Amino acid sequence: MNQTLKQNSENPTLTGTAAWRCPSNIALVKYWGKKGRQIPANPSISFTLQDAHTDMHLAWKAKNTPGIDLEFTFEGQLNYKFQEKIAKFLESIMLEMPFLEQYSLNIASRNSFPHSTGIASSASSMSALAMCLCTMEAAIEGLPQDEAFYQRASHFARLASGSACRSVYGGLVAWGKTEALEGSNNEYGVALTEAQIHPTFRKYKDAVLIVSRTEKEVSSRAGHALMDGHPYAEARYADAEVNLAALLQAIGNGDVTNFIRLVEHEALSLHALMMVSNPSVVLFKPNTWEIINRLRTFRQETGYNICFTLDAGPNVHVLYPEAESGIVERFIREELVVYCEGNYWIADRVGSGPLKLEHEEG
C-alpha cells in the first residue's frame, strides 16, 4: 500500500482510512433478471455466510486534479482489471458521491476463499467496497454509522453487483419489493428480524461442494440478460414472488419440509430457465446431478433435513441445520466428496454480517 496514503490524519477531509470484512451470501429465492439501474425483476432472499468474506482497506488523500484516481491491489498484487472495473463503478456514482473526485484512493482487497468455487466474490467484495465508501463519506461529512448508513451502503453495493446489497447485514436478508415483507424495496436489502426467524434457521450450515473450479462460464450481466424476452419470464417473476412469501412463512414457523421444497425448487428453476434461454446455457455437470441424487436418497432414507441450492454454476451448496452437522458432514465426507474436484469442499454457516476492521493492513 502506498505509504503516503497510510499516514492517518486528525482531519478526515485530508486523509483517512476505512476497512471492512464483508461476507458473501447464498440466495434461497434467486434474483434472476433485472431492469433499469440494477432493479431486480423479482424479490430474493439469502443467507449471509460467515467464513467466506472479503477484507477491504481503503485509504484516501486529498488531491487537486479532476477525475477518479485509484490504485487497487488484490491479494497483495496490483490488479489493473479490477482497478479499471472499480474506477468505472466509482465514476458511475459520482453524482451521489461527488467527493470521490477530490481524493486519491488506494484500495487493498483480499478474499478468505479461493477463486471460482461457487462462492460469490462479487457479493463480498462489492459490499465491502460500499461499506468502505460510506465510511469515508461519513468521516468526511461527520455522519453517524446508523441505519441510514447501512441502507446507503446496501444501495451502493446493489449498484455495483445486485446480490451484494444483501451482504451488508447478517442472517437472512431480502431484497426487492414484495407485499410479503414490510419494508422490502428495490433499492436496498432488508434483514429479517429475530422474531421473523425460527431458531432452527438462525444456525444453518452451508457446505459448498466444488464440482468444478473452472472460471464462470456466463457473466452475471449476460445471465440476467437471458431473462429479457425469455418465454417464461413473467411466470418466473410471479413464481419467485409466491416462493418468497411461502419461504418467509416456513422460516418464521421452523417449517423445514417446506423450506427444503422451496429452496430446491428455486435452485432448479434458475437452471431450468438458463437451459431454455436463448441462447441455451447448461451449467450443470454430471457430478452436480450425482450429488443432488445422492443427497435426495440420503434424505429419503434417513429423514435428515439436508437440501441443496445452486448458484449460476455447477457447484452445490448443501444446506442443513446445525443440530444435524455431525451426521450430515460425515455423509458429505464419505459419499459426496468423491464428486468434488480434488475432493475439495468448503464448510460455512449462516453469519453475523459485516465487521469493521480497526487495524491497518501490513
Per CB under 6 A, residues contacting ligand PMV are 27, 30-32, 44, 120, 122, 161-163, 220, 270, 311-312
Distance CA 325, CA 289 (A): 22
Q: Which of 14, 23, 126 is nearest to 60 (CA)?
A: 14
- CA torsion sign, 268 to 269 to 270 to 276? positive
Q: Which is nearer to ligand PMV, 12 or 313 (CB)?
A: 313
* The three grid cell numbers given for residue 345, joined into one nine-digit string: 469442499
Minimum Å gap between C-beta 53 and ligand PMV is 16
Minimum Å gap between C-beta 307 and ligand PMV is 17
Distance CA 253, CA 42 (A): 23
Minimum Å gap between C-beta 304 and ligand PMV is 26
Minimum Å gap between C-beta 312 and ligand PMV is 4
Minimum Å gap between C-beta 44 and ligand PMV is 4
Contact 206, 318 (CB under 8 A): yes
Q: Which residues contact 146 (CB under 8 A, 6 or more apart)?
A: none
Q: Which is nearer to ligand PMV, 15 or 243 (CB)?
A: 243
Minimum Å gap between C-beta 326 and ligand PMV is 29
Q: Which is nearer to ligand PMV, 214 or 343 (CB)?
A: 214
Provide the 3-class DSSP secondary structure of residue 206.
Answer: strand
Q: What is the strand order of the sheet 345-349 is part of?
A: 307-310, 316-321, 204-209, 345-349
Q: Which is nearer to ligand PMV, 299 or 317 (CB)?
A: 317
Q: Which is nearer to ligand PMV, 59 or 173 (CB)?
A: 173
Q: Which is nearer to ligand PMV, 27 or 133 (CB)?
A: 27
* The three grid cell numbers given for residue 44, joined into one nine-digit string: 430474493
Contact 293, 277 (CB under 8 A): no
- What is the C-alpha radius of gyration for the chain, rounded to an integer number of angstroms? 21
Q: Which of 53, 132, 126, 65 is nearest to 97 (CA)?
A: 132
Q: Which is nearer to ligand PMV, 270 or 307 (CB)?
A: 270
Q: Which is nearer to ligand PMV, 5 or 226 (CB)?
A: 226
Residue 32: phi and psi, rounded to 5, are -150, 100
Q: What is the DSSP pairing of strand 103-111 with strand 69-74?
A: parallel
Q: Which is nearer to ligand PMV, 136 or 181 (CB)?
A: 181
Contact 189, 174 (CB under 8 A): yes
Distance CA 208, CA 115 (A): 13
Minimum Å gap between C-beta 216 and ligand PMV is 10
Neighbours of 337 (CB within 10 A): 16
Minimum Å gap between C-beta 40 and ligand PMV is 8
One-letter amino acid for residue 9 of the chain: S
Minimum Å gap between C-beta 37 and ligand PMV is 13
